[in-house]
A and B are shown apart, each in its own frame.
Chain A
Amino acid sequence: MTGFWTVCKRELKGYFATPVAYVFLIIFLFFAGYLPFKERFFEARQADLRLFFQWLPILFVFMIPSTTMRLWSEERKSGSIELLFSLPITTSQAVLGKFVAAWFFIGIALLLTFPMPITVFYLGHPDLGPILTGYLGGFLMAGGYLAIGCFFSALTKNQVISFILAVVACAVIFSIGLPTTLDYLSGFLPKAILGAIENLSFQTHFESMQKGIVAFKDISYFILMIVGWVWACCIILEERKAA
């Protein structure tokens, strides 16, 4: 447990010791506000955050790999991984520590979008339920994206490669659940496989959560996704840390 907290604390401090955190937060918050605005957030005259949540998955596709790309690549490139693993810390403690720190950081970013709900509460009487489940879904989805990014960061020493691979993987997992993709696939894939593909996507599960539904299958999907990728990250790192 000590190992986990040590890594987590150092990592989180690291975000704010470098400009990484501030650059990320400013860009993220700008787009999180601008994209719904551009889509007629005010003209729609609806007191809800549908437009805000709708853009979140796409924003995450680019923003989250940019925070995770350095997690392990940098550590391996600079050799500090050798220092880290000469301390009494196990691989899984270190991986989890870094993952949780990144997740916490994204949590902060999400909390800082508070002017959005305040705006709709000021202008109308929105339903609190879907807003809360939407945030919960957004946070869980961020965890999924982060776990993928974490995995690709452990795969290579090169941050650019890890960024690109993570963006592609995130984009695929996001977009296979979009209606357009599914329409196209339905032309030649049998229905059972189509259902399976649809259920693999972030989009499908996040969508039902932003409607205010907290279903066991959605929550367990995100948790399985996180556990699976983080575990894979541990295995890869154990294999490659010295290479």
Chain B
Amino acid sequence: MINVTNLRRCFGPIVAVDDISFEVGKGEVLGFLGPNGAGKSTAMKMLACFLTPDGGTATVCGHDILRNPIKVRQSLGYLAENAPAYGEMTVGSFLNFICDARKIQGKARGETIEHITGLCAIESVYHQTIDTLSKGYRRRVGLAQTLIHDPKVLILDEPTDGLDPNQKHEVRKLINKMAKDKCIVISTHILEEVDAICTRSIIISKGKILADDTPEALKEKYQCGLDEVFRMITKGESA
């Protein structure tokens, strides 16, 4: 459902994403791993049509990110790093705003909002302004925003960052539950998370893909735990 071909993006002299290609199908949960500044977020921003690539392209659900960005945005849910939101709005009015933008109207809207607030456990803060929420709640509001239109493709940039262990567990459970009929790309640098939810992982460093395999196969290949695999691959590159 996601098809990336030779995607490339530079910021001035820095090559953030260097000619990456991969595919993700339905039912897959792809973990995007890499040290800080590896180009994970940049790649995801390009898939979400926020950044335009300098070279190459990608398709999401058959829509090209360059030619048809609006169609792409309609069919995917994107949670940006730090879950940005409008701080002065209440959770309720924020979700209504998202529904406006995503054309969820009338009776469907009430049901959707009820469903999503339950799913993300944010009923208790529904009337609070987003500025007053704790980091965990903010992120859950962001997650609710991402899932509200039940997208086929999900792109989540560090979805569990800043959550407490219980919340992390909840989010992972949620992702596992949705996994079979969606196509999910998550970025993280928490390796246990990869073990817990990802069916496949891509290790990226300095904009290049260094490994692309299932977590089990990687462990098998290097005969060690995932964090050692990660260290070997990413350090080997810089040495």
Using CB atoms and an 8 Å cutoff, list the residues of chain A in contact with chain B.
2-3, 5-6, 9-10, 13-14, 17-18, 78-83, 85-90, 241-242
Across the interface, do A83 and B102 meet the contact criterion of CB distance under 8 Å? no
* B62 at the A interface (CB under 8 A): no
Chain A residues near B103 (CB-CB < 8 A): 2
Q: Is B29 an interface residue (CB 8 A)?
A: no
Residue ID in chain B nearest A20 by CB atoms: B88
* Interfacial chain A residues near B78, Cβ < 8 Å: 86
Contact A82 B70 (CB under 8 A): no
In the assembly, what is the distance between CA of A241 and CA of B52, in Å? 11
The answer, yes or no, to whether B152 is at the interface (CB within 8 Å) is no
Tell whether, in the assembled complex, residue A83 and residue B80 are in contact, meaning their CB atoms are under 8 Å apart: yes
Q: In the assembled complex, which residues on chain A have CB atoms less than 8 Å from the CB atom of B85?
A: 80, 83
Looking at the assembled complex, report how far the CB atom of B128 sits from the nearest CB atom of chain A, in whole angstroms.
13
Q: Which 5 A-B pairs have the closest CB atoms?
A: A79-B84, A6-B100, A87-B101, A86-B78, A82-B80
**Chain B's nearest CB lies how many Å from the CB of A185?**
41
CA distance A13 to B100 in the complex (A): 14
User: Which listed residue (A6, A18, A81, A242) contacts B97, Cβ 8 A?
Assistant: A6
Q: A9 contacts which of B49, B100, B102 (Cβ < 8 Å)?
A: B100
19 contacts between A and B (CB under 8 A): A2-B100, A2-B103, A10-B89, A13-B89, A14-B88, A17-B88, A17-B89, A78-B84, A79-B80, A79-B84, A81-B84, A82-B50, A82-B84, A83-B85, A83-B86, A87-B98, A88-B70, A88-B73, A88-B74
- A93 shortest CB reach to chain B, Å: 10
- Contact status A86-B48, CB under 8 Å: yes
Which DSSP category, helix, strand, loop or mixed, fits chain A's interface? Answer: helix
**What are the residues of chain A within 8 A of B87 when measuring CB–CB?**
78
Q: Taking the nearest CB of chain B, how far is it from the CB of A125, in angstroms?
A: 47
**Complex CA distance for A80 and B51, rounded to whole angstroms:** 14
A2 engages B80 (CB within 8 Å): no
CB atoms of A14 and B86 under 8 A apart: yes
Interfacial chain B residues near A5, Cβ < 8 Å: 100
Find chain A residues with CB under 8 A from B97 CB: 6, 9-10
Q: CA of A82 to CA of B80 in the docked complex: distance in angstroms?
A: 7
| Chain B residues, Cβ within 8 Å of A18 | 88
B9 CB to nearest chain A CB (Å) = 10
Is B36 among interface residues, defined by CB-CB distance under 8 A? no
In the complex with contacts A2-B100, A2-B103, A85-B86 CB distance below 8 A: no
Give the Cβ gap from A34 to chain B, nearest Cβ, in Å. Answer: 30
